[in-house]
Structure 1
Amino acid sequence: MIKPRYSKILGAFLGTLTIIAASGFGLLFLIGMGLQQTFSSEMDHASTDQSIYLNLIIIVMLIISGFITAIAPFTLKKTAGNSIFVGYCFILGFIALVVFFISIGALGSAFEYVILAIGIVYFLLGYLVIKENNLFSRRKKV
């Protein structure tokens, strides 16, 4: 059995990258909302308050998922935990790819490619956890 060394390194890197991307998205969102309120002749507090709260919840969830991604490869020892983490990685990878295709042209090419890279690396992390822990093999461990 291969020691799960690469999945730990990749998990820590990907978790840090996710936290940085969420912080960057949060910063861009707050700057955009501030400029909207500054340059707007009409102030519609009802819609902007709901939008601010919703986006802040999304940013907090992204930061929490970054922490989970960074910590989980170091703490999971059992097959069930590894299987849950593999599903978690594949779901977040799929979500990141969908967000990339939805946001083409809206966020700027650099930020969109960061989202694409995060999605691909989540898939790679899930694959590495499967390969390093022999999760779905039919062979008996000796």
Structure 2
Amino acid sequence: MRIHLTSVFVDDQEKALRFYTDVLGFVAKHDVPLGEDRWLTVVSPDAPDGTELLLEPSGHPAVGPYRAALVRDGIPAASFAVDDVQAEFERLRDLGVRFTQEPLEMGGVTTAVLDDTCGNLIQLLHSA
């Protein structure tokens, strides 16, 4: 068994696509119109056939309270592995990304948490 697809709820799919591709560096994989919304996925450029991240519309009534509670409590909606958290932090901060947690080393793990501008906190992670 493998993880094929996971998702984050986003306020605006077009804005999310720009952030996840232009800023974070993912590449678009699928973009299929579905009425007012789209089946919109991105993947790592290093693994184009790997796990897809669905930029899922946040229209369901349960999504707002769920995401608000996560953000209020500082809980990331997703975690992305990087080779160097400090370097990614600096690169993204220079692009104007807002971080809610600067790089923090905890044992053999370093993390940072950013605001994806689409309603979510995202964790960057590197484990030694």
For the superposition of Structure 1 and Structure 2, which TM-score range results when normalised by the shorter chain? Answer: 0.3 to 0.5
Greater per-residue helix proportion = 1
Which of the two has higher C-alpha Rg?
1
TM-score by length of 1: 0.31
Specify which structure has the higher proportion of strand: 2
